[in-house]
Amino acid sequence: MDLQDKKTEDSRSKSPRDTANQWLLTLRSPQSQHFLDVGFTGLLTKDGSPVFIVYSTIKKFCSFFLKYVSLKLWDLVLLVRNIFKYSGIFAQFSKRWLVKKLIWSRGRLGKPIASLIVFSVALVVFTVGEVLNSSKLVNRQEINPDYLTTVTDIIPQRYVAQTTIPDSRKQATSFTYVVEGGDTLSGIGTKFRISVDAIKYVNGLTGDSIKPGDSLTIPPISGLIHEVKKGESLADIADKYSVPAQAIADFNYILDTSKLAVGTELVIPDAKVPRPPVVVASPAFSVPGIITGGAPTPSDTFCVWPSTVYIVTQYFSWYHNGLDIATPWGQVPPLFACTSGTVVRSGWDPYGLGLHVVIDHGGGYQTVYGHMQQINVSYGQG
């Protein structure tokens, strides 16, 4: 039998069952030896490394994260810049508004602003003090009760603290001193730091003699006491005693200087005793002019003609409170006080009078002499 006949015989000898089993074995036996291995072919890049994918992903994340952080930081910088910018604008606006209010209020807001500043400082001090007081760094060390074994460990101090009032502290009111034996005006003045002239002026003394039991009014400071009379203003009182009007107002707490009650006693700090008025001699001669005639004497009228010239260019009227006396061309005639009195103002007046002199004649009467070329009298002169 040849080979072909043998194959035919073998195929005929196999049953259909055997043929099916053979095909099944063929399907269950793949040719590849890596059937269970996981492949990364779809995830691999050109270089074929899977680590590169993780690296590139982390790199992209870090890049986007840094970009995000930088943008947020830039936004923060812009926000801070705008805050400073608009804060400066607001500060300038507030400053202009505050200065405008202070200027137009003419000092009326000074006291409220000072009170607000004091209140703010006090609030800060109390707040910070309360915070620091709660800290152990500034708390005082407490004594351990175990250190005191007996009552005698505490030594009582018998010294009493004394508070001395400084000499520079000024009183606000005058007081009465009863003269004792051996007192003199100079001794009393030295004791209370008051000049003898001030004591004599306040108490109406003409001499230096005093006796025990006399009551003397002592000014609270080195100065005088003045009782306001009818028609007097604060400026008149200040000129009379050669003291700034503001000093009198501050010491006596005068808020409205235009309202002084008659009879009010004012303390004049550092006042000078005014000189007694001296009768001024009036001219008894006349000079020809438009108005002729002899000069009146003080016995005739209250006030005599104050010049040697009788040229009147303008009289009293409802709009002109005075007399205008003209001078001849090229002449400078003298000007006299119309009656006795004391010079209470002498110098330049910027409100229209120029060089001028004001004389107080007592009883609420004053005369004013203005538009002068030269002044030969001074304050306090009579």
What is the pLDDT at residue 72?
Answer: 93
What is the pLDDT at residue 78?
Answer: 93
Q: Which DSSP helix (H) or strand (E) runs through 72?
A: helix 51-105
Please indicate, yes or no, if residue 24 is contained in any of the structural domains: no
Mean pLDDT of 206-222: 81
Tell me, yes or no, whether 346 and 382 share the same domain.
Answer: yes
Q: Structural domain of residue 183, as residue ranges?
A: 175-269
What is the pLDDT at residue 235?
Answer: 85
Tell me, yes or no, whether 258 and 285 share the same domain.
Answer: no
Tell me, yes or no, whether 261 and 282 share the same domain.
Answer: no
What is the pLDDT at residue 201?
Answer: 76
Domain boundary among 242, 269, 296: 269
Calpha distance 66→211 (Å, rounded): 101
Q: At what angle do helices 185-192 and 196-203 cross, to 10 degrees?
A: 110
pLDDT digits (tens, 9 = 90+) for 60-78: 999 999 999 999 999 999 9
pLDDT digits (tens, 9 = 90+) for 153-166: 555 555 555 555 55
| Most confident residue range from 116-120, 148-152, 162-166, 294-298 | 116-120
Tell me, yes or no, whether 291 and 246 share the same domain.
Answer: no
- Residues 198, 224 contacting (CB under 8 angstroms): yes
- Whether residue 4 is predicted with pLDDT greater than 50 in this model: the reply is no
Report which of 368, 321, 330 is spatially closest to residue 347, judged by C-alpha positions.
368
Least confident of 8-17, 221-230, 307-316, 360-369: 8-17
- Whether residue 123 is predicted with pLDDT greater than 50 in this model: the reply is yes
Domain boundary among 247, 269, 291: 269
Domain boundary among 269, 292, 325: 269
Tell me, yes or no, whether 254 and 289 share the same domain.
Answer: no
What is the pLDDT at residue 76?
Answer: 93
Assign 169 to helix, strand or coil: coil
- Whether residue 272 is predicted with pLDDT greater than 90 in this model: the reply is no
- Residues 267, 221 contacting (CB under 8 angstroms): yes
Whether pTM > 0.85 for this model: the answer is no
What is the pLDDT at residue 162?
Answer: 58
What is the pLDDT at residue 291?
Answer: 34
Mean pLDDT of 268-288: 55
Number of domains in the chain: 3
Q: Taking the CB of residue 52, how many other CB atoms lie within 10 A of it?
A: 13
List b or e across 125-164, with b for residues whose CB sees 16 or more CB atoms inside 10 angstroms.
eeeeeeeeeeeeeeeeeeeeeeeeeeeeeeeeeeeeeeee
- Whether residue 208 is predicted with pLDDT greater than 60 in this model: the reply is yes
Q: What is the CATH number of the domain that holds 183?
A: 3.10.350.10
Least confident of 13-27, 45-59, 234-248: 13-27
Mean of pLDDT over the chain:
72
Tell me, yes or no, whether 62 and 119 share the same domain.
Answer: yes
Backbone angles phi, psi at 266, to 5 degrees: -110, 135
Please indicate, yes or no, if residue 26 is contained in any of the structural domains: no
Tell me, yes or no, whether 198 and 215 share the same domain.
Answer: yes
Calpha distance 166→8 (Å, rounded): 148
What is the pLDDT at residue 140?
Answer: 53
